[in-house]
Amino acid sequence: MFALVLALAAVPGCWQAQDLPAQDSSEWPIRAFYKRGLRFQTEGSEFELRLQGRLHWEYGSISNDPDLQRALGESLEDAVRPRRARMLWRGWLGEAFEFRLEQEFRRGTTFFLNQYLEFHQVPLLEHLRIGHFREPVGLETQISGSVVTFLERALAAELTPGRNTGVMSYGHGPEQNWTWAAGLFADTDAKGFHAGDGEWGASARLSFLPWYRQDGERLLHLGVSGSRRSPGGGQARLRSRPETLLAPRFVDTGSFRARNLDILGVEAATVLGPWSAQAEWLLNRYRAPRAGDPQFQAWYVQASYFLSGQHRPYDRALGEFERLKDLPNTLLDEGSGAWELALRYSELDGDSAALRGGFLQDWTLGLNWYLNPQLRVTANWILADLRGIGRTDIFQLRLGLDF
């Protein structure tokens, strides 16, 4: 599999626009070419259909801690496994309409992660999205899993609502120095299905860019987000792994009855040339009288440095970070690609009121090698400490391809 990924990454046409064999326009009015995905486009770009994919393979090694294994009731084992295998269809009708279908293949099953319709240039609302997609809460959760600095998002991501079915409006200021997003959502399963009574929520996010210089080489990002919702079925539960899917859940409160959930998030990030820093704090406050109205908190702070001199790119229209661009194909051309060194500390407190889910602290050291914009090798070392129980060391390596 690794050989197949490397072979795909080395194909010259994969990293630049390349037309397929020409056809008589009277018989074949659609142009087909490859540019960050296989694209089918009509003359004048009135319609475009794009096929993309994502394949991530991982190896992980976890040290054994007898006390931790006894407390968790599960063994800590090394593993080799696919992390993500996805296919994405995106389409546009002119500049006013867009759709997206993203399918994931996991453990013998398939389901749609994102499935939505989007209308652009809507009066007052700017962009209107309807379907199943990620709610606008937090900074790191808005960034693609192929773009985040580390292999997995920080522990604080467990306090965000994730993907649900709903309707959302979003946009940005005239000078792209602030963004906004707000929507109404129904709690749904991974396939986007909802059945229940009153299990709805409202989420919103504001981001600000008070300082932006040298085309994003220097910037300061600030943001705040929140949500108010009713847990599905009147039941709630907080669970979290130590920033790797190769390990069992270290934090688990068990299920408890809850009427309402309020979420608050604060975020900040900066870029100073090759240096970058990012931090978030999130709070979950439940209205759950039998459990003592618990409140759970999580936060993280991270820093990264590009050894090869690049800077972390930022999307002003969305108020989030995006992938590196304009990198040469290291497998074909001379050069060593882009190298990034990163460090993160994060913690999640699952102990509150009558619930004792555990207090988890993680240190993560990461190294990223970007061979080109679509191919990335990432190594992470994680020290996970479940307070009062035990700790473990985790080494994880991923080869990731986006096409």
Domain boundaries defined on the chain: 2-21+29-402
> Class of 2-21+29-402 per CATH?
mainly beta
Least confident of 5-9, 342-346, 398-402: 5-9
Residue 269's pLDDT is: 99
Residue 10 pLDDT exceeds 50: no
Query: Band of the pLDDT at 9, cuts 50, 70, 90?
Result: very low
Q: Which of 203, 209, 149 is nearest to 175 (CA)?
A: 209
Indicate the pTM of the whole model: 0.89
pLDDT at 215 over 90: yes
* Burial class of residue 293 in the structure, from the number of CB atoms within 10 Å of its CB (0-12 exposed, 13-18 middle, 19+ buried): middle
Q: What is the mean pLDDT of residues 264-291?
A: 98
Which positions ≥6 away from 78 have C-beta within 8 Å?
Answer: 59, 60, 61, 62
Q: Which of 146-150, 241-245, 328-332, 392-396 has the lowest mean pLDDT?
A: 328-332
pLDDT tens track for 335-394: 788 999 999 999 999 999 999 999 999 999 999 999 988 899 999 999 999 999 999 999
The answer to whether residues 254 and 237 touch, using CB atoms and an 8 Å cutoff, is: yes
Q: Per-residue pLDDT averaged across 107-127, rounded?
A: 91
* Chain mean pLDDT for the chain: 89
Quick: pLDDT tens for 66-99.
889 888 888 888 888 888 899 999 999 988 999 9
